[in-house]
Amino acid sequence: MKHKSLAQETCPISRGLNVIGEWWTLLIVREAFYGVTKFADFQSKLGIAKNILAARLKQLVKDGILQLDNKGGKRSQYVLTEKGRDLIYVLLAISQWASKWLFTSGRPSLHTVDKQDLLEIAPLEVRSRNGRILGSNDIEFLHEDKRSSKNQSTD
């Protein structure tokens, strides 16, 4: 089923999901973080159909998440771009959320650790501009038009 494109939306969540919203996409990115670079290795690790994998890899290259690297005549390798590497924060947020809410009877098999000392990474925190740690009840999504009117009413 073809989804409606969200590429022209003004909401950053919509536009982000337009690029990474297909669930195979983030699993491919996860495998790239594990060091997988070859089509056959992505296919065997994920158990994904070749036609779906080919389409997803092509789109990830088009979107600038992966780049195709043909070093010295070797088979093509897919490597994360800087834009793709920045998705580590998305994967980390999903991993920490799922570890907290979806593993109620046991621990998940994936652990995120600091490469330097191999200690588990602390939970992600969102901070205000002044450094205050924010909880989910402290955050509001405002459309630009509502933000402008809200700022005018507090002046």
Q: So where are the chain's domains?
A: 12-85, 88-154
pLDDT-based confidence at residue 8 (cuts at 50, 70, 90): low
pTM score: 0.81
pLDDT of residue 19: 83
CATH says 12-85 is which class? Answer: mainly alpha
User: Residue 154: left if φ>0, alpha if ψ -120 to 50, beta else—which one?
Assistant: alpha
pLDDT for 109-140, tens place per residue? 788 899 999 999 999 999 999 999 999 999 99
Compute the average pLDDT of residues 10-20. 79
